[in-house]
Amino acid sequence: FIMATGLVAVLIFIIPMCFTPGPNNLLCAAHGSQHGFRKTIPLTFGMAIGWTTLGIFVAAFASIIEKYDYFFRLLTYIGALYIAYLSYKIITSSHIKDENNTDLLGVRTGIFLQVVNGKAWIHFFVLMSIPFTLFGTGFFAKIGLVILNLFFGYPAVLTWSYFGTMLRKFFNSPKKSVFLNYILGISLMGVAIWIILPH
C-alpha cells in the first residue's frame, strides 16, 4: 500500500511536468512543424540523453550541489538566454516548406538545453527529495526515479514533436506557416521570460 501510494505521488508530479508546455516540448513542436517528425527525433534523443545524465548527476551529488544557490541562478539566466535565442530563430525562420532556410537541430542541442536548464535541475532535486523516496533513499533508488522520469519524459517530447507535424499540415501555406512560427516562437520566448521570474 505504501509503495502504491508513493508511486501515485511520484506520477502526479512527473506526468504533468513532462507533458505540459515547457522548453523541451515547445521546441519539439516548433521543430516538428518545420522539419517533420523523423528529423526531430535526433533532437529528442539529445533531450533524453541530457535529461537522464542530469538526473544521474543530481542523484550522485545532490547533497553537495544544493548548497550553491548562485549556481542555479546562473544556470537559470543562461538557460533563459539560450531558449530566447532558439525562439528568435523560430520566429525568423522561413515558411516551413523551405527547409533549407531553417536550422535543423540535433542531439547536441537537445543535450545542451538540459545542461543550462535551471528548472530541470530543480525538477530533479524535488523528485529526489524526501516525499518522493519511492524506491528508497540510496543512490540506486534515485536512479530508479530517473528511469521512471525518462519513461514518461521521452514519450512527452515525441508527442509534442508529432503535434508539431499536425500543425504543419494545417498551416500549409507560406503565410500560415510564418504565422505558426510566430506563435511557437513567442510561446517559447514566454517560457524563457517565465523561467527568470521569481516564483
The predicted-structure confidence for 16-66, as pLDDT tens digits, reads as follows: 888 888 889 999 999 999 899 999 999 999 999 999 999 999 888 876 766
Which amino acid is residue 71, in one-letter code? F
Chain-centroid distance, C-alpha 32: 14
Chain-centroid distance, C-alpha 152: 12
C-alpha dist (Å) from residue 129 to 13, 76, 120, 138: 12, 20, 14, 11
Specify the pLDDT at position 140.
86
**What digits encode the pLDDT tens for the residues 109-152?**
999 999 887 778 878 887 877 667 777 778 888 888 899 999 99
The residues, any chain, with a CB within 8 Å of residue 23's CB and separated by 6 or more, are 79, 83, 113, 117, 119, 188, 191, 192, 195
Q: Does the model's pTM come out above 0.85? A: no
What is the Cα–Cα distance from 140 to 189, expressed in whole angstroms?
37
What is the Cα–Cα distance from 97 to 79, expressed in whole angstroms?
29
Local confidence band at 153 (pLDDT 50, 70, 90 cut-offs): very high
What is the Cα–Cα distance from 15 to 90, expressed in whole angstroms?
27
Q: What's the mean pLDDT when you consider all of the chain? A: 83
Cell numbers at 175, concatenated = 503565410
